[in-house]
Chain A
Amino acid sequence: MNGDDRWDDDVRVAYQLPIEGEEQARNRAIRRLRSESVTRRRGMGAWWVDPDALRMPPALAAACVLAVLVIGAWSGAAWMATRGGRAPLLSIATLPSGSTAVTFVFRAPGATRVSLVGDFNGWDPDATPLARATTGEIWTAQIPLEHGLHAYAFVIDGRDWEPDPSAPLAPVATFGRRNSLLVVGEDQAL
């Protein structure tokens, strides 16, 4: 074995030393995958949660999103006019070309705290608080989201978990709670 080969072997040994905490990291990854799989169950209705089921050009996707938002905002406002209680109003995906910023809007009269939970923040109620708008009833948060399917819900005052009625519901409840689904952007090629 020459010097080059010995050095290569030393490097390989150094590189392949196990990473401390790998087992714990692996268990955390598996737990996250299990929560993901809840929204990806196959069988009846799988089309609704399969990110590969629907593909379309970005311009067409943006037009569809815009149409849904306009109709949703109009019907939501009309519905809310007849109903004074606390309820989600709308979640808006702002999708200029290449952007993944998503604005969530939630109407919660009387709430002191509203937060967004989803697969993108580990379902942590403290991770993404919404800011109260000047009207006092509307809460908003804008966050970057990766293209693809996301499950989410709103948490009011740290205890009430509510899905977004303007978005499709996930087919399977998580711990008895229903979540909403949101598709952001086009499905990126790997």
Chain B
Amino acid sequence: MTDAELVARAVAGDVGAFEDLVARHHAACLRFAAHMLGDRIEAEDVVQETLLRAYRSLGTYQERQQFRPWLFRILVNRCRTAAGRAHARRLRTAVELTPGAAIVRDATDGFELRSRLSRAMEGLDAVHREAFVLKLGEGLEYEEIARITGASVPALKMRVKRARDQIRARWEELEHDERR
């Protein structure tokens, strides 16, 4: 069953259909929020808020829209709100906070890669991090990211390039240190 069919059933009152959508998209949402916020627990809260908001707003969903970009638009807004909360802690990386919380430990290579990416993204502001993660992490097209973030395509391309240059430079430093 497609996302659109599940949405139609959920709008008609079938809660199970919305649960199927959650099962389909939760992992991607949690992954995005964890990389944006650098905090596994806060990421889970934000994803729950996102899903609740999406559920309450199903009436505003247009059939011509794709569900995933629509959901990510809500998620991006919730991440921005979470990052800007008065009591929010500064953007941190998973390795700084609660070691292991957002990091897979069952595969050494995976752990090192995740850790290196987290460290390489340290210090990157939310706007550049958001563009970078949506483009390189999620693999979305620029037009799709523009609809999600509200930014123009040229601005997004610039953000991704700057973020990529900064992250790659740091990544290579870290890789070099790891080999020594």
Contacts and interface: CB of A to CB of B under 8 A. Distances in A.
Interface of A: 7-8, 10-22, 25-26, 28-30, 32-34, 36-37, 40-43, 50-52, 146, 148-149, 190
Contacts of B30: 19, 22, 25-26
A30 B44 contact: no
A8 B136 contact: yes
Given A12-B137, A32-B48, A42 B12 contact: yes
Contacts of B103: 20
A123 to B, nearest CB: 14
A140 B102 CA distance: 38
Q: Which 7 A-B pairs have the closest CB atoms?
A: A15-B137, A42-B13, A14-B113, A14-B117, A26-B26, A52-B59, A37-B15
Contacts of B34: 19
Interface of B: 12-13, 15, 18-19, 22-23, 26-27, 30-31, 34-35, 40, 43-44, 47-49, 51-53, 55-57, 59-60, 73-74, 77, 100-105, 107, 110, 113-114, 116-117, 133, 136-137, 139, 167-168, 171
B20 to A, nearest CB: 10
Given A22-B30, A52-B59, A148-B56, A10 B113 contact: yes
B100 A20 contact: yes
Contact of A29 (B22, B57, B104, B117): B22
Nearest to B138: A15
A162 to B, nearest CB: 25
A13 to B, nearest CB: 6
A12 B167 CA distance: 13
B22 A30 contact: yes
A30 B101 CA distance: 21
| Interface residues of chain B: helix, strand, loop or mixed (majority) | helix
A139 B23 CA distance: 41
A16 B26 contact: no
Contacts of A20: 40, 100-105
A139 B48 CA distance: 30
A16 B40 CA distance: 15
Contacts of A50: 59
Nearest to B167: A11
A43 B47 CA distance: 28
A179 to B, nearest CB: 16
14 contacts: A12-B137, A15-B117, A18-B27, A19-B30, A25-B47, A29-B48, A30-B22, A30-B23, A33-B52, A33-B55, A36-B55, A40-B55, A52-B60, A148-B53
A147 to B, nearest CB: 10
A29 B13 contact: no
B19 A33 contact: yes
